[in-house]
Amino acid sequence: MSIRGRLLALAIGGVLPLLIVGLTVLWVVWSEKQNQLNEALEQQAELAAVVFDRWLDAQYQPLRTIASYPPSHLSDSSALEGNLKAVLIHRTHWIDLRVLDASGRVVAIDPAGAENLPSGVAEKLLGEARRGVPDVETDWTRGEGRYLLAVAVPVEGGGAVVARIDGAALNEPLQGITLPERALVTLLDQHRRIIYLSLTAESALGLDLSGVDQLSAINDRNTAVIIKRSSLDGVERVYGLGRVGKTGYVVMVGVPSAILYAFAWRQLMGYAVVGLIVVFCTMTGALLIARSIARPVRLLNFAAEEFGGGNFSARAPTEGQDEMSRLGMNFNAIAERLQKREARFAELDRLKSEFVSTVSHELRTPLTTIKALTRLLMREGLEETKRREYIETISVECDRQIDFVLNLLDLSRIEGGVLRVTHEPVDVDEVISSVVKSEARSAEKRRHELRVEPKPEVPPVCADPKELRRVLSNIIENAIKYTPDGGRIILSACEEDTQVLISVTDNGRGIPPEDMPILFDKFHRGRPAPQSAAMGDGTSNAEFLEDADVSGVGLGLYLGRNVMEQMGGRISVESEVGRGSTFTLHLPLWSDRGCNKPSSEDCAHGQTVAGR
Ligand code: ADP
């Protein structure tokens, strides 16, 4: 899994519980809000039930007055009818009023000739009267959609006073109730038939709701809440139910659920939107953070792949101050070092190839000469002088070969750390004379003037005579090689404090300043001098460029420096392009106690390159 994926999973892992908690809180808030609204509706229904109950009580009141008459008066029909008339005359919605005895027989009635009570209603009312309880029954005998409320109070000793009231009388108390917006009040009788409906037409009156299961919620309670879609207008409403005293009547206050819960729902949606915005912001933030971490890792990885693929200039981004930028910096530092090392390896590879070809060349050229001269020598009738000349040349070429091979051997000794030199008193004059003598012929061939001045009068130095000769020879050979024909090579020696300095000065092509720091490096070979370069004495020389392309493998100075250091000395050089160079060997003086330590100051001028 990528870093980005992991960080994203971490963010989701953090947000998910937040989301679950948020949803749970929303659900709890929503449920509580719903409960509050439902309770409020229940209270409304309870209030409406009380209003209806009080109205009923008001209807019972005149009946109670009549029922409280003494038995003698209650059995006097003519007297009673006068009382009944007096009551009825003030009550516009009352249809009739009667007194029944215990067997249900009408003792008195007003208006006279009013129809009989339906038998079921009469039985129910008398039954309740026997139990001493006032009662109300719905009388539907008037026809479809019309009903009367038969209310009765018991008479002591049996019987009941019964009044029948037009259902329209209910409008007055029930319409006076203050209700929520678009609320619907419904009154059901004990048979769950609608006897009052505040909004819909009268056609709904008498509608039988006994089959509605939800209504059973009020069966053993005084109040309840149900949600039901109306069969009349198809609107889903939340109904608060309130039982009307002991009558079995039920008042229903219904509000369309869309209206009742609208505000709470909007609030809930508001919370949900805020929650979603928080989740969105958190996720966006997490994404941005994940990106800010993953991006440098990706770029670093890209840089590493590029680098691994061979693009050594590939670098990681390092913006900022955080760990990633520090990682990038460290990567870049390593890449920098590896790039340099790679360049060095490439350079070494180039040098090695160059070395192999130079060595082959250095070996082949003299061998070719020797072979050619040997053939000439085998001819008969060769002049004695020619013969001698050829043999000498062969001898010189053999010496060069031996020197060359010895150089290679020295190189391997130095590399293996096993180069050993002796420390003994060496006569400088003798060394200089012998080397000059052996190089005289080469110098002569190039028409160089090779001389020593003034005659060295210096004390013996502490050195390995053989090695000193080789180092000095190489320096003189270089002077011969890198000085155009007809040049001047001067040797000198002087004593300086605890050292003797042997200098070789030529008026050759000189060394460019940028080559100075690497002059003594292994396999370093100088580039050909520019065309405008002039002889040390200021005259330009046409052969100069050809001379620049001289043989050599770039080992002489490297070996010389190492050998000189082994002997306790060093080599310094000063040079100017086009004017010439001076190489100086610094050697410790020989004393009775052995080698003197060389002092740091000496009489050489110019740039000191090696040995310090
Ligand atoms: P080689 O002579 O085989 O090239 P050296 O180690 O002796 O190797 O010399 C290294 C380089 O130093 C030479 O290639 C040359 O460019 C430069 N050099 C040495 N001596 C002189 C000199 N006297 N004048 C000019 N350049 C010199």
- 8 Å CB contact between 73 and 300: no
Q: What is the pLDDT of residue 601?
A: 41
Give the CA angle between residues 291, 293, 299 to the nearest 5°: 85
Q: In this structure, what are the phi and psi dihedrals at residue 219, rounded to the nearest 5 degrees?
A: -55, -50
Q: What is the pLDDT of residues 75-99, one digit of tens each?
A: 888 889 999 999 999 898 999 999 9
Rounded CA gap, 401 and 396, in Å?
9
At residue 608, does pLDDT exceed 90?
no
Please choose from 361, 476, 482, 563 the residue to mutate so as to test ligand 1's pocket, defined by most ligand atoms within 8 A of CB.
482
Distance CA 387, CA 382 (A): 6
Closest CA to 206 of 185, 226, 223, 192: 192
Q: pTM for this one?
A: 0.50
pLDDT above 70 covers a percentage of the chain that reads 92
Q: Are strands 488-496 and 461-463 parallel, antiparallel or unpaired?
A: unpaired
CA-closest residue to ligand 1 atom 7:
556
C-alpha 442/C-alpha 448 separation (Å) is 9
Answer positive or negative: Cα dihedral of 300, 302, 308, 311. Answer: negative
478 lines ligand 1 (CB under 6 A): yes
Average pLDDT over residues 265-287: 86
Q: What is the pLDDT of residue 253?
A: 92
Mean pLDDT value across residues 389-416? 87
Q: Which amino acid does the sequence have at 458? A: V
Of residues 612 and 1, which shows the higher confidence score?
Answer: 1
What radius of gyration do the chain's Cα atoms show?
A: 66
Question: What single-letter amino acid sits at 240?
Answer: G
DSSP-assigned states of every residue in 223-249: EEEEEEE-TTT--EEEEEEEEETTTTE
**From the CB of 511, is ligand 1 less than 6 Å away?**
yes
User: What phi and psi values does residue 519 have, to the nearest 5 degrees?
Assistant: -60, -35
Peptide bond preceding 530: is omega within 30 degrees of 0, i.e. cis? Answer: no
Instruction: Quote the DSSP letter at residue 310.
Output: T
The CA distance from 267 to 280, in Å, is: 20
Cβ partners under 8 Å of residue 269, min gap 6: none
Residue 457: band (very low, low, confident or very high) from pLDDT cuts 50, 70, 90: confident
* 96-154 tens-digit pLDDT: 999 999 888 999 999 988 888 888 888 888 888 888 888 999 988 877 667 899 999 99
- Sort residue 156 into left (φ over 0), alpha (ψ -120 to 50) or beta: beta
Q: What is the mean pLDDT of residues 209-232?
A: 88
Residues in contact with 279: Cβ distance below 8 Å, sequence separation at least 6, in sequence order:
15, 18, 19, 22
Cα three-residue angle 187-192-198, rounded to 5 degrees: 25
pLDDT of residue 575: 96
Q: How far is the CA of 471 from the centre of ligand 1 (A)?
A: 13
The SS3 of residue 182 is: coil
Whole-number Å distance, alpha carbon 393 to ligand 1 midpoint, is 24
**Portion of the chain with pLDDT greater than 90, in percent:** 42
Cα of 526 vs centre of ligand 1, distance in Å, is 6
**Ligand 1 contact via 556 beta carbon (within 6 Å):** yes
* SS3 at position 268: helix
481-535 tens-digit pLDDT: 999 999 999 999 999 888 999 999 999 999 999 999 999 998 788 865 554 444 4
CB of 553 closer than 6 angstroms to any ligand 1 atom: yes
Mean of pLDDT values over 412-440: 91
62 Cβ inside 6 Å of ligand 1: no
Q: What are the angstrom distances between the C-alpha of 509 and each of 474, 521, 581?
A: 17, 20, 8
- Ligand 1 pocket: which of 473, 475, 478, 579 to mutate (most atoms within 8 A of CB): 478
Q: Determine the atom of ligand 1 nearest the C-alpha atom of 553.
A: 3
Ligand 1 in contact with 526 (CB < 6 A)?
Answer: yes
What is the Cα–Cα distance from 61 to 161, expressed in whole angstroms? 11
- DSSP-assigned states of every residue in 114-141: PPPPPHHHHHHHHHHHHTT--EEEEE-T
Cis peptide before 513 (omega within 30 of 0): no
User: Could you count the other beta carbons within 10 Å of the beta carbon of residue 416?
Assistant: 8
Q: Checking DSSP bridges between strand 488-496 and strand 449-452, what pairing results, if any?
A: parallel
**Closest to 566 measured CA to CA, from 515, 505, 610:** 610
Answer whether 142 contacts ligand 1 (Cβ < 6 A).
Answer: no
